[in-house]
Structure 1
Amino acid sequence: MKNLNEDNLNALLQGARVIEEDGYGIKVACLANGDYLKLYRRKRLLSSALWAPPARRFAANAERLRQLDIPAPFIVETLQVPSRQLNGVRYQPLPGDTLRNHWRSLDDEQRAGEVQRFGAFLGQLHEFGVYFRSLHLGNVLTLPDDRFGLIDLSDMQISGRPLPRWKRQRNLQHMLRYAEDSHWLTVLHRQSLLSGYAQYCGQGPADRLARALCRLQGPGEH
Structure 2
Amino acid sequence: MRIVTAKEFQDWLSQGEVLEKDSHGAKVIRLSDGKLLKIFRSRRLPLLARLSPEAARFDDRAKRLQAIGIQTPTICETCWIDRSKLVSACLYEPLAGQPLDRLFRDSRAQFDLLLPQLAAYIYHLHRRGIYFRSLHLGNILRTPDNDFGLIDFLDIRFKNRPLGHMLIRRNFQHLRNYLQRRKVENFPWEELMAAYKTASKASR
Q: Structure 1: how far apart are the matches of 2:96 and 2:203?
A: 35
- Correspondence for 2:111: 111
Q: Structure 2: how far apart are the matches of 1:28 and 1:55?
A: 13
The count of residues paired between Structure 1 and Structure 2 equals 200
- Correspondence for 1:211: none
Q: Does 1:71 align with 2:71?
A: yes
Q: Structure 1: how far apart are the matches of 2:86 and 2:36?
A: 19
Segment drifting more, 116-125 vs 174-183: 174-183
Q: Does 1:21 align with 2:21?
A: yes
Spell out, residue by residue over 1:10-42, the C-alpha distance to the aligned partner (whole angstroms, 9 max, x if none).
234441100111222111100111110111113
Structure 1: where are the runs of 5+ without partners? Answer: 206-222
Whether the aligned pair in 2 keeps the contact of 1:127 and 1:162 (CA below 8 Å) is: yes
* DSSP 3-state at the match of 2:152: coil
* DSSP 3-state at the match of 1:26: strand
Whether the aligned pair in 1 keeps the contact of 2:103 and 2:111 (CA below 8 Å) is: no
Q: Structure 1: how far apart are the matches of 2:7 and 2:126?
A: 43
Per-residue deviation at 1:167?
1.3
Q: Structure 2: how far apart are the matches of 1:74 and 1:165?
A: 32
Q: Does 1:184 align with 2:183?
A: no
* DSSP 3-state at the match of 1:95: coil
- Correspondence for 2:41: 41
- Correspondence for 1:201: 200
Q: Structure 1: how far apart are the matches of 2:137 and 2:108?
A: 17
Distance 1:156-1:107 versus aligned 2 partners, 3 A rule:
closer
Per-residue deviation at 1:47?
6.5
Whether the aligned pair in 1 keeps the contact of 2:49 and 2:86 (CA below 8 Å) is: no
Per-residue deviation at 1:201?
2.4
Q: Structure 2: how far apart are the matches of 1:170 and 1:67?
A: 25
One-letter amino acid of the structure 1 residue matched with residue 104 of structure 2: W
* DSSP 3-state at the match of 2:187: helix
Q: Structure 1: how far apart are the matches of 2:188 and 2:171?
A: 13
Q: Does 1:101 align with 2:102?
A: yes
Spell out, residue by residue over 1:147-190, the C-alpha distance to the aligned partner (whole angstroms, 9 max, x if none).
1000001111122421122211111111001235574242xxx2
TM-score by length of 1: 0.81
Per-residue deviation at 1:56?
1.4
CA RMSD of aligned residues (A): 2.3
TM-score by length of 2: 0.87
Whether the aligned pair in 1 keeps the contact of 2:76 and 2:91 (CA below 8 Å) is: yes
- Correspondence for 1:6: 6
One-letter amino acid of the structure 2 residue matched with residue 96 of structure 1: G
One-letter amino acid of the structure 2 residue matched with residue 194 of structure 1: M
Q: Does 1:52 align with 2:55?
A: no
Structure 2: where are the runs of 5+ without partners? Answer: none
* DSSP 3-state at the match of 1:40: strand
Whether the aligned pair in 2 keeps the contact of 1:176 and 1:182 (CA below 8 Å) is: no
Q: Does 1:92 align with 2:76?
A: no
* DSSP 3-state at the match of 1:123: helix
- Correspondence for 2:161: 161
Seq. identity, %: 34
Spell out, residue by residue over 1:50-106, the C-alpha distance to the aligned partner (whole angstroms, 9 max, x if none).
333221121111111111111100000111121443111111111111101112223
